[in-house]
Amino acid sequence: MDGQPAKCAGRYALHQRRNQGVCDAVPCCFLFSQTFDTMVGEAQCIQKIRMFELIKAAYGFEPMPEEMGLLVNTFHLEDDAGDLSWPELEAGFDEIREILSGVSKNATEYTSVDDYRTDVMKHRRMMKDPMDKFKAPMTESMSIGWHEEEVFNERFPKQSCAETRYADEMVRSKLDPF
């Protein structure tokens, strides 16, 4: 653990226990600092154009569009020109953590076991929708309808053949059609 910032020591231990690369979708200083050091080396600055490459290497997979949008806004990646140093990245990640700390409160439905038991006993529905609680669908069946689509209420009027229309007219005039 030598060479890592002191405030990231707890996060490093958390990664060791969980045995995964990303802690709660919040960029971790230690994870990114290792990737940053291997990609940049002695330069200690990374071009804004290579930021996507850094994130993909740190996460091990391509980030979700929402995460990428957050990073683009925080680091102003729409301007391709310019470099980012490690202190700038660390400050940006701290800003993202502050933003996501409010969002992460949506992931918890209950703060009391008693409230949960009461709702289960009374068969109450959950207060928050899955889209409010999770970043992505947790199962394949959740993925159906996850992204809202535009609904078209297309009418399909009843169409009858000539014989049916004749029989309907006979019934309306109170005659036996057969």
Which pLDDT band holds residue 4 (cuts at 50, 70, 90)?
A: very low
Give 68: exposed, middle or buried? Use CB within 10 Å, 0-12, 13-18, 19+.
middle
Least confident of 4-13, 36-45, 63-72: 4-13
Host H or E run for residue 87: helix 86-104
pTM of the complete model: 0.51
Query: Are 67 and 99 within 8 A, CB to CB?
Result: no
The alpha carbon torsion through 9, 15, 18, 19 (nearest 10 deg) reads: -140
Structure tokens at 54: 């850094």
73-132, pLDDT tens digit by residue? 888 888 877 888 888 888 888 888 888 877 777 778 888 999 999 999 999 998 888 888
The pLDDT value recorded for residue 29 is 67
Domain boundaries, the chain: 6-107, 113-143
Least confident of 11-20, 108-117, 143-152, 154-163: 11-20
The residues with which 83 forms a beta bridge, in sequence order, are 47
Cα 71 from Cα 51, distance rounded (Å): 9
The pLDDT value recorded for residue 17 is 37
Which pLDDT band holds residue 67 (cuts at 50, 70, 90)?
A: confident
The pLDDT value recorded for residue 123 is 94
Cα 59 from Cα 45, distance rounded (Å): 19
Least confident of 19-23, 64-68, 165-169: 19-23
